[in-house]
Structure 1
């Protein structure tokens, strides 16, 4: 009977091992699936000195999981997420600001070219009208770019709110799965599928926010922000929110266990941190510098016109009106301003162009922009576009690097936890042979048993 029992235990163990391999092969293309294998343990002999042992048993199903590789994969997801969302916005701004038909530089150049052209015949109505036309077109370029800035601001903030909603769903899911895993382990049921689902949720969350993940003895995992605030503790979880305040258009908060934390979105990492850094370090600064440039042109042109005289000998009046924070009407020509209102004379005499020369000279004056510093007015937009181009190239390089690191970390995780079709095929053959060998032992044991009965009969 011992022979039959041993062989039966071997056949049953082989069946469990084949079942594990079949599960692995079935999930060959399942994202986040961790392969499993039967852990075989020999059953020791009984008290008899002539007992070789009592067969084999499957002591557990093991998961081929490396926590270090999982953590590296999650960190790479966060790093990649930080740069992945920004590139589309940077590329759009590069396209708009560098387009000859829409760039501010071209608008400024054409305005001052029109002023230069009228110097040969300051009384020419068509040339004066061309100055007004180019001034209006220059204003439209500023306004159009400001509209692009505002559209991007709205898009970034809406996208961040959507990411927060998605992150909250994953945070809640991780906490719920933690509870299910704890219960499964307590009842002796395999929790491998639950663990895979939870780790996949952590991976997706890591792309949105930089995380710290720690393991607990009961099988649950705690998740917190890099800045230390807990998102998930066992089966408890917090809730993120993004809301406008008096001092910020979008303040991030975390509510956990009755306590509210105000978060610095710049330090959150992942997609949320990347979008916030793009907004504060690139988009808002560009908008601020562009608005300041528009204001400087308006103020200096209006001041110089006010110092001159119109063809009828009356004092000059402002040509531009600058309205801070106004999207489509930030810089416009004063309503009702006419060609004969251009005050080109410095002494009130017909044909004098003294004040016109001073107007033309504004182009070569220096302006100080809040985030760019002191530059020539004629070079200001070129330098803004150049700085944007540098930011875009740096983001592209960082995105390429982090994407490569992410790919390498996923491949590294796959080498340990992923299913290898060839390896599983070998396992199937080996466990099939194991099963057949044990069934042969049972057949031999039956023959021996029948022979023994015949001898005793």
Structure 2
């Protein structure tokens, strides 16, 4: 090989080493950048010339022409990235469900002095006091007051459940809008990546950004991705395309806007261009919200809680009114309803106290006299009945606690799985300063070596050009 060819080889070595230093510097600069995937220079040896002009070179030992920089590789892992998206989907769903159960448990506040159970005990205790002191108006006033306090507590609990349902629906609507925004970002990044690749530019950073966005979409909706040969990706929800290259199909939230309306029109996600066409979600925070917003009996956290309050209100009114109807007031009249329901409202929200004075309380059995308190005693006994209101409420609270505990456990497992998947991806693709320091030293020495080759060739050419023929000098 001629000295001039060696100069070209040394120049290629300098360029490759400089490219390696540039990429190493980029890695170090982005060590704390979220979603950044470390990069490496891809190099290959340049083969020797076998032909020059119109003639083939002689068959003698020939040295290659140095090194080629083939590109800059992004050291990601498609399998680990897919696992991160999958576990993020599970974590998003489980965390929202667990949060919904915690919100409902906070509303119930059991056991506590401010809970419904305490109000029930006070109510039965007031009836027992009347049974022990029939004819005393003071105890009768306590019954009226305790009945009002119980009604208020039940109505307040259900109203707070309705408020929690509304907050969850508002959150779901915000997430649906965010899904459309993120999908548009993926489509824009697809276009940028396609253009950059077509022009021979580096698109690794754009791919990193797209990976972050698709992971966020997976956390929100359980979306999956499918790569295309041109470098773009499609995003799918339940097998249908949310993002197709640079095109986006938007979604929107539809269904009931109140808890009581959810039974007839469950809240759901649908395609914006096809009203009524439900989007199938396989996980994610949005699916968690839709699950919590579902009707009672269909996994709906808030609707089941509201149904518990309604069942309690119905049990109290039905059982207390039935026993009270068998008694007689101090004036000898048959007992009327202690509780009524306001038409057009749910039992818990519409429960009302129908008596407003001790004279309306029928505490004596028919024919037993005004000083009899047996009916009041039987009403007080509802607090210990196996099918009484307390039992109805206790069963509801117990079931809620069990489901909440299970949801919390699922959330912990999902969070641990998501964390493990993220750590695995980071261990493979995140920047290691120690590794980059070693690489930097390698490229630095390579650059120095190539520069030394240039110096040596320069000295050789100087000897050849300027000193050839000058014998003895």
Residue 356 (structure 1) aligns with: 376
Correspondences of 1:155-304 after superposition (within 5 Å):
155-225=167-237, 227-244=238-255, 247-248=264-265, 250-255=267-272, 259-260=274-275, 262-263=277-278, 267-280=281-294, 281=299, 282-304=301-323
Cα deviation 1:11-41 (Å, max 9, x = unaligned) = 0111111101100100000000111111011
1:147–1:327 CA contact under 8 A, matched in 2 = no
1:14 pairs, out of 13, 17, 34, with: 17
SS in 1 for 2:118: helix
Match of 1:62 among 52, 57, 73: 73
CA contact (8 A) 2:131 2:374 kept: no
Q: Larger deviation: 231-240 or 21-30?
A: 231-240
TM-score by length of 2: 0.89
Aligned pairs for 1:104-123 within 5 A: 104-123=116-135
Separation in 1 of the partners of 2:353 and 2:319? 14
Instruction: Say whether residues 1:316 and 2:335 are aligned partners.
Output: yes
Report SS of the residue matched to 1:262: coil
2: CA distance, partners of 1:302 / 1:126:
21
Contact conserved, 2:119 with 2:150, CA < 8 A, in 1? yes
| 393 and 23 in structure 1: CA distance in 2 versus 1, 3 angstrom threshold | same
Cα 1:347–1:328 shift into 2, 3 Å: closer
- Paired residue secondary structure (2:331): coil
- 2:427 maps to 415
CA drift of 1:238 comes to: 1.0
Displacement of 1:101 in angstroms is 2.6
Report what 2:351 is aligned to: 331
Segments of 4+ moved more than 4 angstroms: 258-261, 326-329, 364-367
State the shift of 1:397 in Å.
1.4
Contact 2:183 2:248 in 1 (8 A): yes
Instruction: Give the match's secondary structure for 2:382.
Output: helix
**Partner deviation per Cα, 1:262-300 (whole Å, 9 max, x = no partner):** 3266x4411011122223322211211220210121122
What's the CA shift for 1:44? 0.4
Report the CA distance between 1:403 and its aligned residue: 1.3
**Cross-structure match for 2:145:** 133
Distance in 1 separating the partners of 2:150 and 2:438? 73
Please list the CA deviations of residues 115-141 of structure 1 after superposition, one character each: whole Å capped at 9, or x if unmatched. Answer: 111112110001111111111111111
Note the alpha carbon deviations across 1:363-384, whole angstroms, 9 max, x for none.
34455xxxxxxxx432222222
Give the Cα–Cα distance (whole angstroms) in 2 for the partners of residues 308 and 297 of structure 1.
Answer: 17
User: 1:86 — aligned with what?
Assistant: 97
d(CA) in 1 for partners of 2:317 and 2:12? 91
User: Matched residue pairs, number?
Assistant: 444
Other-structure match for 2:392 = 380
1:455 aligns with 2:468: yes
Aligned to 1:340: 359
CA–CA distance in structure 1, aligned partners of residues 147 and 407 of structure 2: 35
Q: Does the 8 Å CA contact 1:96/1:102 hold for their aligned counterparts?
A: no
**What is the match of residue 82 of structure 2?**
71
Asked if structure 1 preserves the Cα contact closer than 8 Å seen for 2:132 and 2:373, the reply is no
- Measured after TM superposition, the shift of residue 341 of structure 1 is 0.3
Supply the distance in 2 between the matched residues of 1:444 and 1:438 (Cα, whole angstroms).
10
Contact between 1:294 and 1:322, CA under 8 Å: does it hold in 2? no
Query: How big is the shift at 1:184?
Result: 1.1
Normalised to the residue count of structure 1, the TM-score between the two structures is: 0.92
User: Once structures 1 and 2 are overlaid, which stretch shifts more, 135-144 or 441-450?
Assistant: 135-144
In structure 1, C-alpha distance between the alignment counterparts of 2:382 and 2:403, rounded to whole Å? 29
Unpaired stretches in structure 1, ≥5 consecutive residues: 368-375
Is the CA contact 1:65–1:416 (under 8 Å) kept in the aligned structure 2? yes
| Post-superposition offset of 1:59 | 0.8
Q: 2:440 aligns with which of 421, 425, 428?
A: 428
TM-aligned CA deviation for residue 236 of structure 1:
1.3
Q: Give the aligned partner of residue 371 of structure 1.
A: none
Which whole-Å CA distance do the structure 2 matches of 1:397 and 1:329 have between them? 33
Q: Distance in 2 between matches of 1:275 and 1:137?
A: 33
Deviations 1:89-138 (CA, angstroms, capped at 9, x unpaired): 32233234214232111111211111111112110001111111111111
Computed over aligned residues only, the root mean square deviation of the Cα atoms, in angstroms, reads 2.0
Instruction: Report the Cα offset of residue 329 of structure 1.
Output: 4.5
- Measured after TM superposition, the shift of residue 360 of structure 1 is 2.7
**Counterpart secondary structure, 1:32:** coil
- Given that 2:222 and 2:282 are in contact with CA atoms closer than 8 Å, whether structure 1 keeps it comes out as yes
SS at match of 1:5: helix
| Cα distance in 1 between the residues matched to 2:349 and 2:164 | 18
